[in-house]
Structure 1
Amino acid sequence: MSAGKPYLSLWDRALQLLDPDTQRGLNPSKTNRRDVLSAVLNDVEGARDLALRKRWKFTKSNGDVVIIRDVMEKIVGWVQRFKETGDAAVQYDPAHAALPWAAFRFLLQTTVSEVQVFSAVAGDLEEVARNLTRYRIFERLHLRGPQSELQAEIERAFIHLYAEILRQLSYAVKFFSERTITRVLKSPFRTVKEDRKKELQAREHDVNQLATLADTDILRNLNATFERISVQSTKALSEDKFNEIVAWLSVAPYHSHHQFVAESRLAGVGQWLLNHDDYLQWLTSSSPSLCYLHGIPGSGKSTLCSVVVDSMLAQSGSNPSATPLGYFYCANPEFEKARRSYDDVLRTILFQLSINPSSKTTVKQFLCSEYERQVARSPASKLDIMKLRTKDCVRLILELAEQDPIIIIIMEDDRHTLIKAFGDIVSQADNVAKVFVTSRTSNRAAMIPTSAFQIQISPELARPDMKIFVKNQIDTAVKAKLLLGGQISLETREALENALLEGAGEMFLWVKLHVKQICHETIEDDVVSALRKSLPESIDQLYQKSIDSIFETGYKAREVAMKALSWVLYMREPLTPQALLATVESGGDFSVVLDPHCNVVRFSHQSVQDFLKDHERFAPSSAHTLLTSICLEACSRGPASEKDPSIPSDDFYVYAAMYWPVHCKMAQDLSTARPSVGDSSLTQTMKSFMFDEDWVTTLSFESWIETLRLIVSSLQQCHEMVPALSAISNSDDAFLFTLSTFGLEDALCITLSHVDSINVNQKTQHGYTPVYLASAFGHLGTVAILASYGAELNVECGKFGSPLHTACFNGHFRVVVKLLELGANIACGSAFQTALQAAFRGGQEDVAMHLVECCSVITTEEEYEEALQGAALVGFVRVVQLLQSPKFKLLRQDTNDTTKKRLMKAVEGGQLGVIRKFLSQSTGKQGLIPPDAIAVATLHNHKSLVKFFLDQGLNVEVEGTFGTPLRTAALLDYRPLVCLLLEHGANVNSCGSFGDALQAASIKGHNGIVRLLIQEGANVYQRTGFYGSALQAAAYHGQLETAEILLNQDENIHHSSLCDDVFHAAAASGHDQIIALMLRKGYVYQSWHFAQPLCSMAPPPQYVCLWTAQSGGRGRYKDLKACSRPSQYCDRHQSQKPLVDFSVILGRKHAESEESHSISQQLTDEVYPKAYPLQAAAFAGHAKTVSFLLRHKNISKISDRDIKDAIGSAAEAGRLSVLEHIIEAAEAQESIEDYISEIIQKEHAARQPHVVAFALKQAPQGLSTTTWPWLR
């Protein structure tokens, strides 16, 4: 390049190729800014945030729903990548490519204000950004250093490509410059003539053809370079609180399951999947989508799932803002219920999506709020908290997905409920939700998820992995000298490899099993001969050969193998290797492996379990009989050690003690040809364990009863065996409760017939009778046996009140029918008024239907109305239909008032179907819907109902018990409802009886909602409600992060009149961290300032009312220390103190608690003058805050007069710790004397000798009545 010739970038040279009209088309977008990329990035990030807030999406012509926020996230990634390459490419002009980016910015700014127009062009803008970045990287790769002939050709290709890009950008800029944007609903890029599109494609093809193969590999990976990020608010928890949430969710050891699969994976396996076109499209598309990978058993689905999981984990790393990722490996072992249960699987996935990968105990705010709400609803707080069900988990995952993109990876087989749940997540998500499912190929339509991306594992796709696997299996066998003693010729090896590759197809498990079979051959010729024969076609054939070889061994070895396989097949709790060894007295088997991460023994593959369960030698009835015998033998011997029992334990006795009754019951129920009572060998074994020849309980049984208490204390409360084991009494007749609890009918019959003087109506220490326990656990035969021996059915006992009520609550239909036949009273019990109410509370519609249809549970109009409202509350549509049938015509009173009450019950329960039915049967339905229905539905978090009522035209501002619907949703951290209400016109600054929504969210520290409300225009300075403002509420309740968010809305903190009241509130409530925050931000307290009234109609600062009302000196303290400055008083208060405790809000559902009512009454009777921050903190007893203020008294403008006022307030309230801190902070002897004098004078008048004694003890030596003459 000559010295005087200006440098022209490729884009400049491309512009010169355009005709004048096309060049002029770009004029509206031109800019003089040299930092155009920074401007573009700012605009794109703003558009991304707007799309997130508005939840913009659009539907493509093929039906795919595209999340605009995700498209913008990609554009952000492309712009950032372009900037990074620019920083490195110093040989380029810093303004390189400014022209196309300026046009890009023009199009973005022109379209972003109209969602329909923006939706039409967003995808095209993302493509433009991707191409600009893509070819920028091409330039760096191919156009640096001395230019070769090939590089010159590439440069010319680039110039022509850029010219075509500018042509299309010019057309788009001109399109939007000349048309009325509100009428443009189609992207200009899609109206470009077909020949121009082909021209652009041709230019791209030219550039790509000139690229090297290595470069194309780099570019292919560019599609996955951007990372979706999380914007959810998080909350750091204490370790105890975090563990409580983990226990509540019953989180399975998902990472250990992943490690077990991933560690057996060979290097390089599964890369074909990561590069598969459908997989890449699924991963990078901006639409919620599900990718379905399926194949036959043994085709490596678990391994491929682990490949996807590891690739996602590697991408997110420890980035706290990474896309939330959840994964799970489902399985069917009897002993791993958490891997089979839909609820447990989804709870574990929800947990993973909610945690911060970079911080052990940091959890997303929405899950913390849900936990607090569930604890509040629980009758026994944390001891009886309800577990989340599948529908709850789907709701919460969708709530998370409203803000964050999510990725879920699941390895499952034939679980329709899970398939449906993931389908709901994908179809209903308001953000990018990616679900990756691996499963067995199925011919049943219900088992196949609806998916645009389906990948079937075929022999062709699996071929690269199969080569690696076959080679590894042969290498391993040779190295271990299992194959021909480690000596195999090259020809035989090649023949073996080829035979395995040809026969395996996509079945990796087939290869593994067949290599094991070939290893039995000891001569090379036999190996070759075996290869020439037809190889087994199925895995089951190989399993059968293995079973046959077991049965051909000696008796002892066969028994060991049978026991080992039976245990792993049917055990109810994971057994450690040591515990399993104790049951079989020998080693394992070909199909059993050790999982070192979970320290348990399991089958090597799911197909092993499937095969054995269908094998006649492992029939469930005979297997459970065998396991019961082994357990009873262990229980007869007693514990192997004196250590406290725990699960899992190396001492098999612990397992045997927990589960012998379970195995016994299953053997009894599964037996098709049951012997007569007393003849069963199993019953005799049980009898020998429990009784001696004289029917006296054995020492082994008594030891078992004592050990049970230790075992139960070591189990988590959520463990499935806790209810049954804890119900067993340690009385002399403990055997009766054991047999009744587990429904061991044969043993119960023989025991009752031989043991004299058994009281079948005795109760355990928990108040359970034998028939109550049998009813609670659903043992029909046991109930009948006990009743025949005189068991009382109508006796009040147990948690649910009576045998009938517990059977109704737990849904044991046949037991309910039997109890009613035997004369059980439907009203017996104190927990529920009737059996029907128990069925309602337990959610048992079949039981409720039977009670209504076949029993005389409804005889009066009052009972009819209670039944109808109860059915409406829980959503029993069939029961509602039955009650409204002609059968109950005489009891029906269908007035508007009764219909409204029924509707309100249905609203509380979220029963949209019931509500629709009521309204369809009534004329003038608008008048029947309670005006506060939206508020009530919001309180109970029923989003579908809120939407329904909004569509019915109900007023979104009508208050409920806790204010407006928006305030209620903000208080309870229902973000989806906050968004929905705002979308339907809820006034973000609406003030009701309890203030506005921002103040409610600030009270509880719901920072995500605080930010959302501010973005939607909430007035941070609005004076309203009990606390006066959102900032004062946050300060009083110590919500540090919330306070910082609110303070950041005003850069000039010193001149904010609101901040003096906030400073006062923080001091009065003892939150010195809030005071420190304000001081760090430059706040200077004005000593002449008095805290202003919270609002024109409110009382004095309500936090003052709180600390005076709640302190020990509430009855005595009528005024605070007067000072020389004029006092200000407020009008009597009219605003109510809001409830903030979830347990009161969601449990009692009252507008005011007794405490808040008493405070409100006191505020009506008394008027308090103002106080200063130090004085307020001293009176409330916040010693730490007083010390903090005194340490910073110069900044806080605290005078000696203020300190004396604080001493007076603390002395009158009896706050000795505060007085001690003030005296310790005194800087001079004279100050101490003055302070002590102030204390004594105050308390001398109040006659509080303990405070006077404290003051005298602090007095310096030498002080006398001369110093304080009034002491004489």
Structure 2
Amino acid sequence: MLLQSLFLNLVVASIHSSCYPPNLLQHNVLLVLSLIQDTLLLTITMTHPHGDSYIVNLKGGEGGAGGSGGKWGGNGGVGEAPKLYLDADIMHIVIQRSGREEGIDITRRAFLDWLSPLNFFLRQADISRVRTKGTGEWLLKHPLFLQWESSSESTLWCNGISGAGKTVLVSMVVDHLSAAYRNNRDIGVACIYLNHKEADTQTPSRLLAGLWRQLILDRDIGSIAENLYKQHQEKGTAPSLEEVFNVLGSSLKEFSQVFIIVDAMDEYPEFQREILLKHLAVMGSNVNLMITSRPNISPESSSFPNLETLDIQAAPGDIQAYINAQIESSPHLSRHIRRKPELQEEILTKVMDTADGMFLLAKLYIQFLSTKNTIGHVREALKEPPKNLYDSYHIAMQQIEAQNEDNRETAHSTLIWVVNAKRPLTVSELTVALAIKPGAQSLNEDYLPDIETVLAVCAGLVIVDKESSVVRLVHYTTQEYLDSIQAQLFPDAQTEITDTLFTLLNFDGYPDSSWTSLRIEDLPSLVGYSQYCLAHAVGEFEVQLRKVLLEFLGGAFPWKKTLAGEKNFRERKWNSMPWNYEDWPSQPSVLWISAAANLVDTVKFLLDQAPLQVDSEHPEIIVASYYGHAEIVSLLLEKGADVNATGGVYGGPLQAAAAGGHTEMVGILLEKGADINAAGGRNGSPLQAAANRGHTEIVGILLEKGADINAAGGEDGSPLQAATDGGYTEIVGILLEKGADINAAGGIDGSPLQAAAARGHTEIFGILLEKGADVNGAGGFYGSPLQAAAAEGRTEIVGILIEKGANINAAGGFYGSPLQAAANLGHTEVVGILLERGADINAAGGLYGTSLQAAANRGHTEIVGILLEKGADVNAAGGFYGSPLQAAAAGGRTEIVGILIEKGADVNAAGGLYGSPLQAAANLGHTEIFGILLEKGADVNAAGGIDGSPLQAAAAEARTEMVGILLEKGANINAAGGFYGSPLQAAAAEGRTEIVGILIEKGADINATEIGSEDGENGSSGSDEDNNNGSSRSANDQSSNSGSLEEGLES
């Protein structure tokens, strides 16, 4: 049929428009689908010009046998299929049934978790809970603290020895500031608790996002953050550090003053520490920083404004209060003191002397004394106090070794797991790990230990955060101590952990084909942590583990598909290396997974067993280069791997290494003959890959070695556009200085200036303009820099572009014009600016035809009013909906429908997807709008559109009440045309039994053979068999006998 052919033409046109990025291409085709047919089963394979493939499935209803799942659906569930709309901003998914909107938004919590998976609220609550009342108040009264709190743009750097209570003091400061400014929305408070065990997850970008999350607790998320989500979510990528910093910066500007407190900077790895400190130092003039650290870290006074240093020492009164509180909470000591009251003073004096300003040492000593069963044993222990923290830890280990065998083994296993875990374990994960026996085929819950027992046998070295249920060592220094003795005490730690994880992953029934319906809740909690099974195997024990390792690798891919988000769990449970690699082969070999996981010995073994068999589509050398596995890459090259191998999303080894940020690997590959300008992959070239990810050093190396600074290709078109897209100002400067073409065309955004305008990178935007960027450069998704800025609501940039001579009516791009872009996406201020500067209010083009139609369909009432007031044609024809009124009716915008009719809109305007406003309301179940249109004289027999008539639309979509009203109003019960040919055929095809009965009772011709038409208006006769059974047509049917959509169109 012509209508379906039109639809396919639109899809093909989108596919072959090289300016459309994969995420926006996918989104736009989905938008077209939702506009053309609301109830459908479509499977469309879309191939991006650069080779990326996307599969989109929009299903009709699912359920038992009976009705079909939509007009183009195939066999669906009984009754009505859901209608799926993808809002153009990708932020909002709405499911509609029977005319009632049930908004299922990307929830605020889900959005926050996406941008900021780190939640410091729980950590703050846990630390506050253990703080002894009345302690730490000296800090709040200290002149340097008072000066810091009352001034602006100041930094207070707090040094203190291990165990001095710095973390507890931080929690007190956070509580103090939060309480003091609770009712002042102009002042913000945020904190970071750094932890050496969480360095892999506490990346600088995530930490900055964590600050942002705290600051917007009771505020709107903001357009910059929403746009960032829009940019990355569809591609499944994470925001860059600079993008997150930009989001945080926009939120910081909403406050007159912000207090940011960072604890334990000394626990943060040095290479990441420099990055974090660099960004903290330039937060802004309204930001006050407080940072705690051990004395081995010193701040650079030149980097931080108004820097003051404060030494943290535990106040004697605080330690005394803490010791008394610990004594009171100890059943043994309390009982002893009731018998001998003078014992309390003995304990207090000795512990105070021993603690020497360290809360932690006092805590460990009190815990040791609390184990003593008699007063005599307490006094003996007081005669030989620990000399320092390590001595306290040594005493604790002696306590552990003195226990019975069961308790000792539990303590050893607990310490092995807690010390060596790649991230902190939860209580549930730890207890499951302790319960798994070697060779077990399932989890025997009878062996799950009680966490209180576990803590008791570990002699105070292990604690649990109550809020988060995270298991931790009592202090950072505990890790250092246990690391120093692990080789002697737990020589087989990694083997024990790996064996346990492999045992779990080999439980009976894991994994198998029945997992399509499995829920993550059905698996033992430790399965999530089991992603680190290969990470624990790497290294000296790899040979010892070879047999079980090879067995697991041979069946690892189902786990990857299931738990890395590709099969049936919405949340990725496995997101570490190598499971987080985005471009796995469809059938990865053991060699491929080994190379990805840096299993050097295993790779050697496999290469010695047989000649190298390269995965032709996803060469092993590419994934190894992406992760920076230098030894693996060298082994592969020795065995004949091609240093310029091509394939996969990264195109080649050098581009993968550049994207991964591995400077050493880039050097190795170049030395081995890698083509510095190798084209292909998502990023087009190695230089573009490095520029896109913000790897400044690699950019410098590649340029020095002769990389083509203007190499075209990739999603970003050029290295300059790639750096601009990511917001990397320094790299933009380097590229321009080296001669990059400032107006290089191509890529998603068409030009560097359009990219800067779309992303809101104001500083880069200014640099590009200053260097001569063309403000009217055409191309890309948005068509022009002005349309990009208008679509994304960049008010300041819109004004600058107009001042610089941008064509305010430049046609093209997805939205047709800057005005339609702003109207479509609800940017009222931008609409006002454009109209004030002379934008053509009735400019035709774009998806919606006119700005008024766009605003009407999207429900932007204020903008509709502005456009009408400024002279917009209320009956302008064109666009997907044919008229503004049909657009508003289709969108369910009751208020706007009333406004348009009041302003003279033709209620019978023909054209568009639904043929008439009334058919749109009938099809989509907008009952109130349906009634308004009839009251205003809408023609109940208006022919045209996908359903042919309002009655056929209502019949197909089970709008029983509307069917009755239309028949009462004189609708032609046998009107021919539309997708199904007649109202009766529509109801029958969709399984609407009640409506079939009504139509027959009212005289519908049960022998009519009209089954739809080429133009959606006039029927053509033929048998059901001749016409694909008359219903449930699929877009795939159009090309089922051909190899491509284009050939399908010809047929």
Q: TM-score, normalised by structure 2?
A: 0.65
* Range that drifts further, 297-306 or 634-643: 634-643
* Structure 2 Cα separation of the partners of residues 560 and 240 of structure 1: 44
Q: Unpaired runs of 5+ in structure 2? A: 1-90, 94-102, 438-448, 512-517, 988-995, 1006-1018, 1020-1051
Counterpart of 1:245 (choices 98, 111, 121) is: 111
Given that residues 740 and 774 in structure 1 are in contact (C-alpha distance below 8 angstroms), is that contact kept between their aligned partners in structure 2?
yes
Q: Which residue of 1 aligns with 2:240?
A: 389
Counterpart of 1:948 (choices 762, 767, 779) is: 767
Higher relative CO (Cα under 8 Å, sequence separation at least 6) belongs to 2
- In the alignment of these two chains, the number of paired residues is 852
Given that residues 396 and 461 in structure 2 are in contact (C-alpha distance below 8 angstroms), is that contact kept between their aligned partners in structure 1?
no
Give aligned-pair identity as a percent.
Answer: 18
Given that residues 328 and 334 in structure 2 are in contact (C-alpha distance below 8 angstroms), is that contact kept between their aligned partners in structure 1?
no
> How far off its partner does 1:829 sit?
8.1
> How far off its partner does 1:472 sit?
0.4
Given that residues 577 and 650 in structure 1 are in contact (C-alpha distance below 8 angstroms), is that contact kept between their aligned partners in structure 2?
no
Structure 1 residue 594 corresponds to structure 2 residue 464: yes
Classify the secondary structure of the residue corresponding to 1:468: helix
Counterpart of 1:744 (choices 596, 599, 611) is: 599
Aligned counterparts, 1:795-834, within 5 A: 796-802=646-652, 806-807=656-657, 809-810=659-660, 812=662, 831=681
Q: Which residue of 2 aligns with 1:968?
A: 788
Classify the secondary structure of the residue corresponding to 1:594: strand
* Structure 2 Cα separation of the partners of residues 1230 and 825 of structure 1: 72
Aligned counterparts, 1:799-878, within 5 A: 799-802=649-652, 806-807=656-657, 809-810=659-660, 812=662, 831=681, 867-870=708-711
Given that residues 753 and 773 in structure 2 are in contact (C-alpha distance below 8 angstroms), is that contact kept between their aligned partners in structure 1?
yes
* Structure 1 Cα separation of the partners of residues 986 and 745 of structure 2: 64
* Per-residue deviation, residues 441-495 of structure 1 (Å, max 9, x unmatched): 45523499735475736558x4554343222011112xx1146745453333134
Q: Which residue of 2 aligns with 1:331?
A: 195
* Structure 2 Cα separation of the partners of residues 701 and 911 of structure 1: 39
Aligned counterparts, 1:723-742, within 5 A: 723=579, 735-742=590-597
Q: Which residue of 1 aligns with 2:936?
A: 1198
Q: Unpaired runs of 5+ in structure 1? A: 1-233, 376-380, 669-681, 691-696, 855-863, 876-899, 1092-1100, 1113-1174, 1265-1270
* Structure 2 Cα separation of the partners of residues 1087 and 652 of structure 1: 62
* Per-residue deviation, residues 1150-1196 of structure 1 (Å, max 9, x unmatched): xxxxxxxxxxxxxxxxxxxxxxxxx74236576347642342358xx
Classify the secondary structure of the residue corresponding to 2:939: helix
Counterpart of 1:1069 (choices 877, 887, 898) is: 887
* Structure 2 Cα separation of the partners of residues 770 and 473 of structure 1: 57
Structure 1 residue 510 corresponds to structure 2 residue 510: no
* Structure 1 Cα separation of the partners of residues 590 and 718 of structure 2: 50
Q: TM-score, normalised by structure 1?
A: 0.55
Q: Which residue of 1 aligns with 2:928?
A: 1188
Change (3 A) 1:251 1:323: farther
> How far off its partner does 1:1019 sit?
8.3
Q: Which residue of 2 aligns with 1:410?
A: 262
Matched to 1:593, the amino acid is I
Change (3 A) 1:1041 1:704: closer
Counterpart of 1:299 (choices 156, 164, 180) is: 164
Matched to 1:618, the amino acid is Q
Q: Which residue of 1 aligns with 2:475?
A: 605
Counterpart of 1:635 (choices 502, 507, 510) is: 502
Classify the secondary structure of the residue corresponding to 1:1236: coil
* Structure 2 Cα separation of the partners of residues 660 and 395 of structure 1: 36
Counterpart of 1:1250 (choices 982, 995, 1018) is: 982
> How far off its partner does 1:569 sit?
1.7
Matched to 2:931, the amino acid is R
Counterpart of 2:486 (choices 605, 618, 635) is: 618
Structure 1 residue 265 corresponds to structure 2 residue 124: no
* Structure 2 Cα separation of the partners of residues 1222 and 750 of structure 1: 67
Structure 1 residue 364 corresponds to structure 2 residue 183: no
Aligned counterparts, 1:372-771, within 5 A: 372-375=230-233, 381-382=234-235, 385-405=236-256, 406-414=258-266, 415=268, 421=276, 424=279, 427=282, 429=284, 432-442=286-296, 444-446=298-300, 450=304, 452=306, 454=308, 456=310, 458-459=312-313, 462=315, 465-477=318-330, 480-482=331-333, 485=336, 487=338, 489-501=340-352, 504=355, 506-519=357-370, 524=375, 538-547=388-397, 550=400, 561-575=411-425, 576-582=429-435, 587-613=457-483, 615=484, 617-619=485-487, 625-632=492-499, 635=502, 639=506, 654=527, 658-666=531-539, 668=540, 682=541, 685-689=544-548, 710-712=562-564, 716=572, 719-723=575-579, 735-750=590-605, 755=609, 758-761=610-613, 763=615, 767-771=617-621
Q: Which residue of 1 aligns with 2:917?
A: 1177
* Structure 2 Cα separation of the partners of residues 1229 and 720 of structure 1: 59
Q: Which residue of 1 aligns with 2:55?
A: none
* Per-residue deviation, residues 1199-1251 of structure 1 (Å, max 9, x unmatched): 3xx32474577875787215789995589899544x318x74xx48x999536
> How far off its partner does 1:511 sit?
1.7
Matched to 2:240, the amino acid is R
* Structure 1 Cα separation of the partners of residues 212 and 657 of structure 2: 32
Classify the secondary structure of the residue corresponding to 1:868: coil
Classify the secondary structure of the residue corresponding to 1:1203: coil
Given that residues 813 and 847 in structure 1 are in contact (C-alpha distance below 8 angstroms), is that contact kept between their aligned partners in structure 2?
yes
Query: Which has the higher Rg, Structure 1 or Structure 2?
Result: 1
Classify the secondary structure of the residue corresponding to 1:304: helix
Given that residues 908 and 937 in structure 1 are in contact (C-alpha distance below 8 angstroms), is that contact kept between their aligned partners in structure 2?
yes
> How far off its partner does 1:407 sit?
4.8
Structure 1 residue 1004 corresponds to structure 2 residue 825: yes
Matched to 1:263, the amino acid is R
Change (3 A) 1:793 1:987: closer
* Structure 1 Cα separation of the partners of residues 968 and 733 of structure 2: 75
Given that residues 744 and 752 in structure 2 are in contact (C-alpha distance below 8 angstroms), is that contact kept between their aligned partners in structure 1?
no
Classify the secondary structure of the residue corresponding to 2:224: helix
Given that residues 836 and 851 in structure 1 are in contact (C-alpha distance below 8 angstroms), is that contact kept between their aligned partners in structure 2?
yes
Change (3 A) 1:556 1:1204: closer
* Structure 2 Cα separation of the partners of residues 655 and 958 of structure 1: 49
Aligned counterparts, 1:919-934, within 5 A: none
Classify the secondary structure of the residue corresponding to 1:1001: helix
Given that residues 955 and 984 in structure 2 are in contact (C-alpha distance below 8 angstroms), is that contact kept between their aligned partners in structure 1?
no
Classify the secondary structure of the residue corresponding to 2:262: strand
Q: Which residue of 1 aligns with 2:1011?
A: none
Matched to 1:298, the amino acid is G
Change (3 A) 1:827 1:435: closer
Classify the secondary structure of the residue corresponding to 1:386: coil
Given that residues 808 and 818 in structure 2 are in contact (C-alpha distance below 8 angstroms), is that contact kept between their aligned partners in structure 1?
yes
Given that residues 625 and 665 in structure 2 are in contact (C-alpha distance below 8 angstroms), is that contact kept between their aligned partners in structure 1?
yes
Classify the secondary structure of the residue corresponding to 1:351: helix
CA RMSD of aligned residues (A): 5.8
Classify the secondary structure of the residue corresponding to 2:928: helix
> How far off its partner does 1:798 sit?
4.3
Given that residues 793 and 824 in structure 1 are in contact (C-alpha distance below 8 angstroms), is that contact kept between their aligned partners in structure 2?
yes
* Per-residue deviation, residues 1083-1103 of structure 1 (Å, max 9, x unmatched): 594486669xxxxxxxxx9xx
Given that residues 290 and 436 in structure 1 are in contact (C-alpha distance below 8 angstroms), is that contact kept between their aligned partners in structure 2?
yes
Aligned counterparts, 1:899-1048, within 5 A: 937-948=756-767, 962=782, 968-974=788-794, 977=797, 981=800, 992-993=810-811, 1000-1006=821-827, 1010-1011=828-829, 1023=841, 1025-1026=843-844, 1033=851, 1036-1037=854-855, 1042-1044=860-862, 1047=865
Given that residues 624 and 664 in structure 1 are in contact (C-alpha distance below 8 angstroms), is that contact kept between their aligned partners in structure 2?
no
Q: Which residue of 1 aligns with 2:952?
A: 1216
Matched to 1:968, the amino acid is A
Change (3 A) 1:641 1:1089: closer
Given that residues 256 and 597 in structure 1 are in contact (C-alpha distance below 8 angstroms), is that contact kept between their aligned partners in structure 2?
yes
Classify the secondary structure of the residue corresponding to 1:245: helix
* Per-residue deviation, residues 863-912 of structure 1 (Å, max 9, x unmatched): x7x7122499999xxxxxxxxxxxxxxxxxxxxxxxx9998887677676
Q: Which residue of 2 aligns with 1:75?
A: none
